[in-house]
Amino acid sequence: MTPRSLARRCLLPNGDNKKQNVSQSGTGPRMNLELEVMEPGLKNDGPSLDTILVNYLDTLTQRVNFHFGYPVNICYDHYATLAPLLQFHLNNCDDPFLQNTVNFHSKDFEVAVLNWFAQFWEIEKDQYVMEWKKLEREIIERMNDNSLY
């Protein structure tokens, strides 16, 4: 059974499937979905988490048709390809060019992105690494300089 089959169909938070009234100014009070935070495992008479999430998804699906304002990519088609990666908590701390004790990361992709930007800005492939190292040394020297305190 999927969350969608558990939830009642509700495009708008108030349960009214008519066209949503949109405030012209954007400075008025925001329509609240009136969600509640509930302790997991406690008996409650409210809607299930599946119902809440499906209703929220339906609300967003309806609102995206009327999106106007801050330019964002609302046609993101890569989620299906990247979705399997969301099951991992990857840690990219530290320098992507040095080995460290954590071997559960996506630093290979990080380096590929850095290389792409270096090529885009016509920077020598290894030069941006040297610039970062120079900046890193300067920051460490400043932190160790007692005259700053």
End-to-end Cα distance, the chain: 62
In one-letter notation, the amino acid at residue 26 is G
Residue 47 makes CB contacts below 8 A (sequence gap 6+) with: 55
Residues for the chain: how many in total?
A: 149
Q: Which of 6-10, 12-16, 36-40, 129-133 has the lowest mean pLDDT?
A: 6-10
Question: Max CA-CA distance within the chain?
Answer: 66
Q: What percent of the chain has pLDDT over 90?
A: 0
What pLDDT does residue 12 have?
Answer: 42
In whole angstroms, give the CA distance from residue 72 to residue 61.
15
**Domain layout of the chain by residue ranges:** 1-75, 80-148
- Phi, psi at residue 61, to the nearest 5°? -60, -40
* Local confidence band at 78 (pLDDT 50, 70, 90 cut-offs): confident
* 103, pLDDT greater than 70: yes
Give the pLDDT score at 131.
67
4 — phi, psi (to 5°)? -65, -35
Question: Beta-carbon neighbour count of residue 43 at 10 Å?
Answer: 6
CA 66 to CA 37: how far, in whole Å?
28
The answer, yes or no, to whether residue 67 has pLDDT greater than 50, is yes
**Is 0.85 topped by the overall pTM?**
no
Q: What is the pLDDT of residues 24-57, one digit of tens each?
A: 455 666 677 677 776 766 776 677 778 888 988 8
Q: Is the pLDDT of residue 11 over 50?
A: no
